[in-house]
Amino acid sequence: MQIEHLALNLEHAEAVVAWYHRHLGMPIHRQQHEPLYAAFLGQPPSLLEIYCNPDHPLAEPEAWHCLTLHLALTSEDLAGDRDRLLAAGASLVAEHCDGPDADGYGVLMLRCPWGLPLQLCRRREAIAATHV
């Protein structure tokens, strides 16, 4: 089996999708604008679904500790991406920040403007390149 998507039921789903598309470069693969707004973003086959169904509990990512759940993204320029996302309304999370080092590798933890923890990673070796 392969992960198809991870879904989040968020109050401001349409605004979150627009921000992720614009500032994280996530392509939108399917989008519904009617009530119960929904969109699938990212790179297939593993996608992120963001939707708003107020008939069910809405996620409150601003209350989550960043190490409980976060969306990890690759970055070729940690410092540049950090600064660009901070200018776009993200916030830096102080409780977990390991980089970048002198060569630009490391991990940074931010929160998007709606509180979802975003981890930016620049690794020396991609996880997909290593096998157990």
| DSSP tag of 113 | T
Architecture of the domain whose range is 60-132: Roll (3.10)
Q: Is the pLDDT of residue 127 over 90?
A: no
Q: Is residue 95 predicted with pLDDT exceeding 60?
A: no
- The pLDDT confidence band at residue 17, using thresholds 50, 70 and 90, is very high
Indicate the pLDDT class of residue 34, thresholds 50, 70 and 90.
Answer: confident
Instruction: Give CATH superfamily name and number for 1-59.
Output: 2,3-Dihydroxybiphenyl 1,2-Dioxygenase, domain 1 (3.10.180.10)
Residue span(s) of the chain under CATH 3.10.180.10 come to 1-59, 60-132
CB atoms within 10 A of CB 54: 10
Q: What is the pLDDT of residue 97?
A: 63
Say what the pTM is. 0.88
Question: What pLDDT does residue 41 have?
Answer: 96
Q: Which amino acid, 94?
A: A
Going across the sheet that includes 91-97, the strands are 71-74, 117-122, 106-111, 91-97
Nearest to 12 by CA among 116, 91, 117: 116
